[in-house]
């Protein structure tokens, strides 16, 4: 069983229950799920999640987790054939949809531009095993990156909300390794948000290059709710110090702090960074501790 960070349990993937309008919208989207085969997990993500986000899109984005994607798609094609590209339906059906997602993509099949109840939706379907592996171990860093930003969970039969606290803790650790000794709370959330875009060509061309700032600025309080328990944990361990109502943060960049952060990363990344640390340190003996660990972290990403 995975050991969850004690102080990151209650707040991960927190939703704003006080927003009545949002509740009504969520109820409508739950009704949409009734036209699909049953799912084990569903969350809303992206720029339409909260009305104070300035980076808005007309399309509502959903992630659906299912136990057996092929069987799920076969059933969904019977119910909602118009959700799929016609060539996929006729050439291979659910088997082809799943094979393309697994072999060419990252295990997620998206049905975009689905019109329902005066809404335009895009939903991605993923195998639950793959979703959990990515959350815990950053296997593809595709869905885990999305779950490091505010989302709203509609269905959660396997308690992904709880498991995601491991992902959030890894995200904080990775961001701290990439940040200088002193930074702001906004800097921290922007760095966390940018993790999933590293190496993404869309950020150089098609996507808005200021997207990260807009996401953090539009959902700042939600980022605080998600990550405050982890920050409090690192404060208690004296890795972080806060000033100015916690808006300004300084971190310990020493060797023991760096090793602790690396050990808190997702397993695959932490192991790789641990192996590279001694190599980088030998090449940067005259650099400051902060510069050394940023070089280590950048090599890992």
Q: Is residue 16 situated within a structural domain?
A: no
Q: Give pLDDT, residue 280.
A: 45
Q: Is residue 296 situated within a structural domain?
A: yes
Q: Is residue 25 situated within a structural domain?
A: no
H/E segment holding residue 157: none
DSSP string, 244-288: TTTTEEEE--SHHHHHHHHHTS-HHHHHHHHHHHHHHHHH-TTS-
Q: Is residue 28 situated within a structural domain?
A: no
Q: Which of 25-34, 46-55, 72-81, 183-192 has the lowest mean pLDDT?
A: 46-55
The better pLDDT of the pair 15, 225 is held by 225
Answer yes or no: do 188 and 101 share one domain: no
Answer yes or no: do 62 and 78 share one domain: yes
Q: Where does a domain end: 158, 182, 210?
A: 158
Q: Is residue 92 situated within a structural domain?
A: yes
- Tens digits of residue pLDDT in 180-194: 999 999 999 999 999
Q: Name the pLDDT band for 39 (thresholds 50, 70, 90).
A: very high
The better pLDDT of the pair 9, 202 is held by 202
The answer to whether residue 62 scores a pLDDT higher than 80 is: yes
The better pLDDT of the pair 55, 117 is held by 117
Answer yes or no: do 121 and 187 share one domain: no
Q: Is residue 8 situated within a structural domain?
A: no
Answer yes or no: do 233 and 278 share one domain: no
Stretch 151-161: mean pLDDT, rounded? 96
Q: Is residue 20 situated within a structural domain?
A: no
State the total domains in the chain: 3
The answer to whether residue 292 scores a pLDDT higher than 90 is: no
Q: What average pLDDT does the structure give for the chain?
A: 82
pTM: 0.81
Chain-centroid distance of CA 55 in Å reads 17
Stretch 217-226: mean pLDDT, rounded? 92
List the beta strands (DSSP E) in the chain. 41-45, 59-66, 108-116, 119-127, 152-156, 182-184, 240-243, 248-251
The answer to whether residue 9 scores a pLDDT higher than 50 is: no
Q: Name the pLDDT band for 246 (thresholds 50, 70, 90).
A: low
**Torsion over CA of 16, 22, 25 and 29, rounded to 10 degrees?**
-20
What is the domain extent for residue 295? 266-300
Q: Name the pLDDT band for 213 (thresholds 50, 70, 90).
A: confident
Q: Is residue 125 situated within a structural domain?
A: yes
Answer yes or no: do 121 and 81 share one domain: yes
Answer yes or no: do 288 and 198 share one domain: no
Chain-centroid distance of CA 231 in Å reads 18
Question: What's the CATH code of the domain at 199?
Answer: 1.10.10
Q: Where does a domain end: 158, 179, 204?
A: 158
Q: Name the pLDDT band for 47 (thresholds 50, 70, 90).
A: confident
Answer yes or no: do 281 and 176 share one domain: no
Q: Give pLDDT, residue 113.
A: 96
Answer yes or no: do 132 and 229 share one domain: no
Q: Where does a domain end: 158, 187, 208?
A: 158
Q: Give pLDDT, residue 13.
A: 43
The answer to whether residue 33 scores a pLDDT higher than 50 is: yes
Answer yes or no: do 39 and 151 share one domain: yes
Answer yes or no: do 93 and 135 share one domain: yes
Answer yes or no: do 221 and 240 share one domain: yes
Answer yes or no: do 182 and 247 share one domain: yes
Q: Name the pLDDT band for 145 (thresholds 50, 70, 90).
A: very high
């Amino acid at each position: 069983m995975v050991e969850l960070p004690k102080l990151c349990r209650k707040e991960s993937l927190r939703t704003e229950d006080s927003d009545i309008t949002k509740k009504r919208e969520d109820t409508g989207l739950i009704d949409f799920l009734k036209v699909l085969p049953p799912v084990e997990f569903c969350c809303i993500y992206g720029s339409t999640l909260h009305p104070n986000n300035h980076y808005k899109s007309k399309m509502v984005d959903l992630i659906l987790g299912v136990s057996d994607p092929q069987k799920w798609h076969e059933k969904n094609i019977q119910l909602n054939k118009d959700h799929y590209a016609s060539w996929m339906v006729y050439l291979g059906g659910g088997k082809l949809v799943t094979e393309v997602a697994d072999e060419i993509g990252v295990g997620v099949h998206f049905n975009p531009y689905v019109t329902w109840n005066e809404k335009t939706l895009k939903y991605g379907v993923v195998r639950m095993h793959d979703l959990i592996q990515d959350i815990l171990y950053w296997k593809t860093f595709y869905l885990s990156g999305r779950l490091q930003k505010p989302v709203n969970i509609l269905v959660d039969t396997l308690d992904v909300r709880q498991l995601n606290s491991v992902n959030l803790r890894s995200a904080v650790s990775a961001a701290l390794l990439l940040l200088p000794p002193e930074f702001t709370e906004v800097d921290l959330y922007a760095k966390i948000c940018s993790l999933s875009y590293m190496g993404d060509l869309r950020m150089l061309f098609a996507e808005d290059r200021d997207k990260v700032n807009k996401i953090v600025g539009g959902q700042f309080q939600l980022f605080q709710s998600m990550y405050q328990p982890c920050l409090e944990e690192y404060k208690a361990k004296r890795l972080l110090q806060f000033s100015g109502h916690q808006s300004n943060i300084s971190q310990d960049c020493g060797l023991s702090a760096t090793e602790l952060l690396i050990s808190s990363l997702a397993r695959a990344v932490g192991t790789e960074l641990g192996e590279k640390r001694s190599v980088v340190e030998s090449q940067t003996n005259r650099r400051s501790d902060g510069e050394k660990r940023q070089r280590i972290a950048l090599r890992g990403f």
